[in-house]
Amino acid sequence: MATILDGKIFKQQIIDELKPRIAELTAARRAPGLAVVLVGNDPSSEIYVTSKVKTCLELGMRSEEIRMPATSTTAEVLAQVEALNQDAGLDGILVQMPLPKQIDSRAVLLAIDPSKDVDGFHPFNVGNLAGNIPGPRPCTPAGVMELLRRYQIPVKGKRAVVVGRSDIVGKPMAMLLLHEHATVTICHSRTVDLATECRRAEILVAAIGRTAMLGPDHIAEGAVVVDVGINRVTNREEAFRLTGGNAARMAGFDKKGSIVVGDVDPVAMAERSSAYTPVPGGVGLLTIAMLMSNTVECAERRLG
C-alpha cells in the first residue's frame, strides 16, 4: 500500500521548530514582521491571506495586512510596496497574486526589496536559487523538498520529472531537485508523448493546473508522486469518478457542492505509486509553513 505523504504533520513540525527562533529574535531585537498586500477581493486570495495572517499571529510575529481596492493602479500598488520597503520593522513583503488585470504584476514584483522577498520571486533571488546560494526559495517547491526530506525519500541519483514550467512552481522545483542531485526532466504543453516521459520518473511532480490530467498511463509502478495542483470539481459524476466513489469524499461534495482534486487522477495515484501527496492535505499545507520559515530567515539575516 502506498504511503500517504501527509502535509499536516510536518506543517506543524515546521511551525514548532520556528517558535524558539522567533522567541530569540524577539528577545534580542524585535519580532519578525510580515506584510501581505491584497488588491481586490478574489475569494481564494482572501482565504490564503487570512490563513497567513492567522499563522503569523499564532507565532507571535508582527503581521501587517494591507487591503487595496480592485480599482487600484500600478502606481498606487508600487507606492504601497515602497512604503513597506522602507519600514524597518518588516522583514517580509508578499503581494498576493493574481493582481487585477490593469496592474503590471512584473513591475510590482521587481519593486519588492530582494531582502524582503519572502516569495523568492525577485530576479535577484531567482539568481540565488540558480546558483544554489542561500536565500528565500519559492514556498511551494520548498515545501515539496521538505516533505521529501522529512519522509526520508531519497532524491540523489533519482530520475525526476516535473510537469509544468511556471516561474512559481515548475522551474524552481526543477532547480531544487537538481541541487539535490536528481536527474531532472521538465515537461510542458509542447512535450511530445507526455505519458512516456512521465513513466520514466521515479519522482513525478505535477504542477500543471489541469484537473486530473495525469492518469495511470503517466505513473510508473512504485513512483513517488507529488501533486501540487488544486482544482475544484463541481460536477457530481466527475467527482464520483475521480474519487472512486469514496463515501467520505462524496459526502463532502454533497455538502459543499464541490471537491478539490489535484493534477493527478487520485485513484491512479494511490494504486500505482509507492508514496503520494493527497489533495487536499499534502503540499498546500506546507506552503504557508515555508512562508513563515522564509520570513524568519529574512529576519535573521537582516538583524544579524
Q: What are the pLDDT digits (tens) for 111-151?
A: 999 999 999 999 999 999 999 999 999 999 999 999 999 99
Catalytic residue among 91, 96, 117, 263: 96
Residue 119 known to be catalytic:
yes
| pLDDT score, position 53 | 87
On whether the 139-284 domain is CATH 3.40.50.150, my answer is: no
Q: Where are the domains of the chain?
A: 30-115, 139-284
Asked if residues 95 and 112 have their Cβ atoms less than 8 Å apart, the reply is yes
Least confident of 90-94, 153-157, 243-247, 271-275: 243-247
The active-site residue, picked from 117, 119, 227, 265, is 119
pTM: 0.93
pLDDT in tens, 164-212: 999 999 999 999 999 999 999 999 999 999 999 999 999 999 999 999 9
Write the DSSP string, the chain.
-PEE--HHHHHHHHHHHHHHHHHHHHHHT---EEEEEEES--HHHHHHHHHHHHHHHHTT-EEEEEEE-TT--HHHHHHHHHHHHT-TT--EEEEPSSPPTTS-HHHHHHHS-GGGBTT--SHHHHHHHHTT-SS---HHHHHHHHHHHHTT---TT-EEEEE---TTTHHHHHHHHHHTT-EEEEE-TT-SSHHHHHHT-SEEEE---STT-B-GGG--TT-EEEE---EEE--HHHHHHHHTT-HHHHHHHHHHS-EEE-SB-HHHHHHH-SEE--TTTSHHHHHHHHHHHHHHHHHHHHH-
Per-residue pLDDT tens over the stretch 44-57:
788 788 888 899 98
Domain 30-115 has CATH 3.40.50.10860: yes
The catalytic position among 52, 116, 158, 171 is: 52
Model confidence pLDDT, tens digit, residues 20-36 = 999 999 999 999 999 99
Q: Give dist(CA 289, CA 18) in Å, integer.
A: 9
Same-fold call for 30-115 versus 139-284: yes
